[in-house]
Chains A and B, each alone.
Chain A
């Protein structure tokens, strides 16, 4: 707290200087581009050089390396960008390979048609993973995918009549393996291009609105919903998109190896794809390639006589990495690089001033529909958890453009009410409407899209993003960004794009969330204990900021807060809750003298 305390009370001239000097040329926060270049170089070397040397063993081994690495890259997208651990991508790979092998090897269809069949096969596998992903996440999906990895070889054997069972299928594609350009076979060229394409996909995905929103959904499903993102859809899309790429890798496995058997796609393969990311460095562009080199290439080529110990090595190396350097090889190097070169966070950072100077003026001038009409309306709202009654017949009217405080003792239902308003939980009885739209049954992400923003007790600030990207996800959620807002936001980008959010002190994190909501263009703002953890100076500034937002933008602010002085100081009206019921509602002065609420103030002040 010391650091942030001193930085925020530091004198204004110093601040002005800090802002005037503009962006400080810091080190790159991520080295994605450098890693991409290294990774592509490796893929080109592995994919093409053995062709010119003319060694079939090396050609084959390195082609498989590229395929496996490509699968791991896609698994990396799934694990880090979409946040889902899958132990079953080997089954997707196998589905692609088997569907194509059956079409080409057993049913004599043209190769190009077989490729299509392989993609369809993998897609079906992806859909099997994607369906439960709509509703559950994390370890649930870990078990679903694990189950699929175990089942896949069994299914191939059971469907003996169509798959040729344990005898496998011979696949020879001479037009790919024999002919070629400039001494490289078509197969080598296709595989090399595929490896490059997958790497570029990962790099580019992170720089799109969709990719950012996916990462937010992975890191914090709640924050995602508050930004109008549906995390289940994000997870499903990730499973389906990666399945198509992995399916293509499975298809290309055929011409390299020449035959398939069910045992080639056992659980070990899925484990290899997964563990390679962990060893190489989760989330790093280059990570999967290094991981596959260490877990697949070295044991097969350098330590071939220890092949029996391969599975043991997968497990042991992975466990050691998780325990000793959990960021993996590339990740650990990155951490060291950034720590060494990155200066301490900018002490003069005044986000509250940026909101007032840069952000809000861009948003002013929007037609504010008449202040005073009721924007949030709760009628007979009740919420029960089993036998516990959290809300009991709540009636609440919140007027446009007011700051409305919700106060009450712990367990009085404040947070329950806030969660109902933002859609994180649903009423057991009664109705809620916001801006004349009934929202009682809507999901949190649907409500967010109506222009309702919220902040959380613990600010949802993502350390893998720069400060700017943390704000940008708000802009991503804004359906109508006008030119002026874009321009102003561009000014912020210049200052905040090189600053990591990792070292932001708590008070600044709170402001990041508020800025995000302003960029989101939310006109109703739900704040859950925003003053918790702020120093007295920060509380004063924060109060000023809220009043400023109300006065300039006409934002309606609903505030759950324990700091009663703060609430009394800024709220236009206050609602007092007690054991789930509304006991008083009115202007701060009325509330302070209301007998039903008075005891609370006494208790709180004595506490």
Chain B
């Protein structure tokens, strides 16, 4: 019983960290442009595929692993940046402000279909060069710990970036008032594109790091985008602190459900949780209600 609880706790926090990272990558783009990238989950999967396509499914040496991490990050960052440019293009004429919902979904479908054609419908099993460690007497694969480290890393980096650097402050300014930011001479489009790139760096690297412990298959992307979104909603969209808490909460819950009922119930839990949160507290459990703009 205790052993089961500790597995739920350790792996729940580990997988929750993955959801939190995806939620934070959502937030970066959302706060700069009001766009939620539906392709973010596929980009996460792409990070895993891109890295392990290079080093193969067997255990890689450290330098090779690091090189692959860098490569996966760069590839995803480039793809997300291109996607960002395409997504922002029709928004120039301000009449059509919701085309992003369609275009990011279309990109997600295109990437999924491409991965499916290249890889087939099978999921990959890949190895991490970092040995498993023992916690509470449980052997735990290293990527769970790496995910938690990456989560805190990105939380603090984003916090520093958005509050302390000039560019980060400019992005924060856009999220406050886009027209004012534009009037103040900020290059809004360029900053929004940069936000896409940053989100690509975050999910690309995360996708590679945790690939050994997640389902690495073409159609898994949709599930990750969903879990990332739920983490963001639970935490309050736009709040990275909320994303961390929301992600961990969701991770623990889904691990609990997996152990009690079976993995097949995970997605049902997500749907129920999402509907419940939106019904009861749409601004998120940790979110603040904000002034309504008219």
Question: CB within 8 Å of B: which residues of A?
Answer: 85, 87, 128, 131-132, 134-136, 138-140, 142-144, 146-148, 150-151, 154-155, 157-158, 222, 267, 271, 274-275, 278, 308-309, 311-312, 314-316, 318-319, 322-323, 326, 385-386, 390, 415, 419, 424-425, 456-457, 528
Contact = CB atoms under 8 A, between A and B. Distances in A.
B168 interface: no
A419 B292 contact: yes
B113 interface: yes
B157 interface: no
Most chain A CB atoms below 10 A, which of B105, B107, B117, B265? B105
Main secondary structure of the interface of A (DSSP, over half): helix
Interface string B228-241: 01100100000000
Nearest 5 interchain pairs by C-beta: A315-B109, A315-B110, A312-B113, A311-B113, A319-B106
Interface in B272-294: 274-275, 278-279, 282, 288, 290-292, 294
Nearest to A87: B105
A143 B294 contact: no
Contacts of B105: 87, 142, 271, 274
A139 B114 contact: no
A267 B294 contact: no
Contacts of B98: 85, 138
B102 interface: yes
B291 A144 contact: no
A425 B292 CA distance: 7
A98 to B, nearest CB: 16
16 contacts: A87-B105, A131-B279, A134-B279, A143-B230, A144-B274, A147-B271, A222-B294, A278-B102, A312-B110, A316-B106, A318-B109, A319-B86, A322-B103, A326-B90, A424-B292, A425-B292
B110 A319 contact: yes
B114 to A, nearest CB: 6
A315 B111 CA distance: 9
Contact of B268 (A151, A222, A278, A319): A151
B106 A326 contact: no
Contact of B288 (A312, A318, A386, A425): A386
B148 to A, nearest CB: 25
A104 B211 CA distance: 45
A68 B270 CA distance: 28
A143 B226 contact: yes
B101 to A, nearest CB: 5
Nearest to A132: B278
Contact of A140 (B89, B90, B278, B290): B278
B203 interface: no
A85 B279 CA distance: 18
Contacts of B294: 222, 415, 419, 424, 456-457, 528
A144 to B, nearest CB: 6
B72 interface: no
B102 A144 contact: no
B99 interface: yes
Nearest to B226: A147
Contacts of B270: 147, 151
Given A322-B103, A323-B103, A326-B90, A148 B271 contact: yes
A154 B267 CA distance: 8
A275 B219 CA distance: 18
A314 B112 CA distance: 11
Contacts of B264: 154, 157-158
B159 interface: no
A390 B89 CA distance: 37
A427 B86 CA distance: 43
B126 to A, nearest CB: 24
Interface string B199-227: 00000000000000000000100110010
A424 B106 CA distance: 35
A316 B113 CA distance: 10
Contacts of A425: 291-292
Contacts of B274: 132, 143-144, 147
